[in-house]
């Protein structure tokens, strides 16, 4: 190669390599690293009045955010939920819904606009280049990084601009309140509602759906009764109460019952168990007289009535809760006490029910 021959691209290191023009065979030409473009200062960088004006603009946006958030909170409590309002080009809508949406929207929008305007007008905008390095920085670089962060906090003006700091804190602090307040619309906490049923001590067992009292003499060996507590039809939430209180009643030969507790909680071989499957809450309504098995038709969980309704097959993991029964002076079957454990499927707070009116140990 002669001294005047152009250098090959591969011979030129890094940014000084040439660029081959597409479609030609000419040797590439060399160019110098153009570097970074000239930094153009903003008005707020050179004019204190412009910086102060930008600061007031940012603070105004945060104040508008606070007003929007307060509008949401006040509307939630003070505006009637059924009050209508006419909006041009949209039509009739509910005033509270409009105020809630606008308040929350403006609260979030102006937090974002204020942060963007702050960054665009007041925070440093010079480009900084950092060369690649090993994954773990040296101790000196780490110290430099901390110093850079501290310097960034100083140059951002957060310490020197208390108006922005105060209004931003107010906007961000207030904006979290609507989400906390909105949790109220999820409804009241369940309390012990899942753990208790309508059953109380002394309540008669009535047939479902006739709601006729059942005498012990009416229950023969092999017969099955679907049972509800007396008076359940008088409640305001009938369906919800029936979903928990449903009971299935059978009579066995006392000699077939293997569990002494089951025998004691029954009456002359008559036993009553929750009808709600402990798997996912389906009604356990299929009784096989010869084997004394109760079958859930949904997922085929099978319970042995002779052994305290323990699970002998299927996905259920717990036995059916037993309702202790007796008879009153007229020979009608009654509950000796409410269920002593929660009925139905699992839930996080499942355990012994809280005492209710009429419960005895």
pLDDT digits (tens, 9 = 90+) for 268-284: 999 999 999 999 999 99
CA gap 124, 121 in Å, rounded: 8
- Whole-angstrom Cα distance, residue 108 to residue 267? 66
Mean pLDDT of 300-320: 94
Contact 346, 298 (CB under 8 A): no
DSSP notation for 212-276:
-B-BGGG--TT-EEEEEETTGGGSTTHHHHHHHH-EEEEE--GGG---HHHHHHSBTTEEEEE-B
- Residue 244, sorted as left (phi over 0), alpha (psi -120 to 50) or beta, turns out to be alpha
| Res. 229: pLDDT tops 80 | yes
356 exposure class (CB count in 10 Å sphere: 0-12, 13-18, 19+): middle
Alpha carbon distance 342, 37 (integer Å): 73
Instruction: Identify the weakest region by mean pLDDT among 94-103, 131-140, 331-340.
Output: 131-140
Report the pLDDT value the prediction gives residue 356, as an integer from 0 to 100: 41
pTM of the entire predicted model: 0.51
Q: Is pLDDT at 112 greater than 80 in this prediction? A: yes
Lowest mean pLDDT among 20-24, 148-152, 295-299, 306-310: 20-24
Q: How far apart (Å, rounded) are the C-alpha atoms in residues 356 and 197?
A: 9
Residue 204 phi/psi, 5-degree rounding, is: -75, 150
Query: Considering the chain, what percentage of its residues have pLDDT values greater than 90?
Result: 58
Torsion 7-13-19-24 (CA) sign? positive
CB 353 within 8 A of CB 196: yes
Residue 97's pLDDT band, with cuts at 50, 70 and 90, is very high
Rg over CA atoms, the chain: 39
> Residues 55-87: pLDDT tens digits?
999 999 999 999 999 999 999 999 998 899 998
pLDDT at 163 over 50: yes
Averaged pLDDT for residues 195-204: 93
* Mean pLDDT of the residues in the chain: 85
pLDDT band, residue 176 (cuts 50/70/90): confident
Distance of CA 198 to the CA centre of its chain: 29
95-121 and 48-78 helices, crossing angle to 10°: 160
pLDDT score at 22? 57
């Amino acid at each position: 190669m002669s001294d005047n021959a152009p250098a090959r691209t591969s011979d030129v290191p890094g940014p000084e390599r040439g660029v081959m023009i597409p479609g030609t065979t000419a040797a590439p030409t060399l160019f110098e690293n153009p570097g970074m473009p000239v930094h153009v200062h903003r008005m707020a960088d050179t004019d204190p009045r412009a910086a102060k004006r930008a600061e007031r603009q940012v603070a105004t946006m945060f104040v508008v955010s606070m007003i929007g958030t307060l509008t949401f909170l006040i509307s939630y409590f003070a505006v009637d939920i059924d009050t209508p309002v006419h909006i041009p080009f949209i039509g009739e809508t509910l005033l509270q819904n409009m105020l809630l949406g606008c308040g929350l929207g403006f609260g979030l929008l102006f937090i974002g606009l204020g942060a963007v305007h702050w960054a665009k007008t007041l925070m440093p905008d010079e480009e900084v280049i950092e060369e690649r390095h090993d994954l773990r920085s040296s101790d000196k670089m780490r110290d430099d990084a901390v110093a850079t962060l501290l310097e960034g906090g100083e140059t951002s003006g957060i310490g020197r601009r208390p108006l922005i700091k105060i209004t931003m804190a107010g906007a961000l602090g207030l904006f979290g309140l609507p989400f906390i307040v909105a949790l109220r619309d999820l409804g009241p906490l369940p309390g012990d509602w899942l753990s208790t049923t309508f059953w109380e001590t002394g309540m008669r067992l009535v047939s479902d759906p006739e709601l006729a009292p059942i005498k012990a003499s009416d229950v023969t060996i092999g017969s099955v009764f679907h049972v509800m507590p007396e008076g359940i039809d008088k409640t305001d939430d009938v369906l919800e109460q029936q979903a928990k209180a449903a009971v299935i009643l059978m009579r066995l030969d006392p000699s077939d019952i293997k569990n002494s507790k089951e025998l004691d909680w029954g009456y002359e071989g008559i036993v009553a168990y929750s009808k709600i499957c402990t798997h996912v809450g389906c009604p356990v309504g299929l009784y096989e007289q010869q084997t004394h098995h109760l079958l859930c038709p949904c997922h085929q969980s099978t319970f042995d009535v002779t052994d305290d309704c323990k699970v002998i097959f299927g996905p259920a993991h717990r036995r059916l809760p037993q309702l202790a029964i007796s008879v009153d002076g007229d020979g009608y079957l009654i509950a000796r006490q409410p269920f002593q454990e929660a009925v139905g499927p699992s839930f996080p707070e499942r355990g012994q029910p809280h005492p209710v009116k009429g419960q005895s140990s």
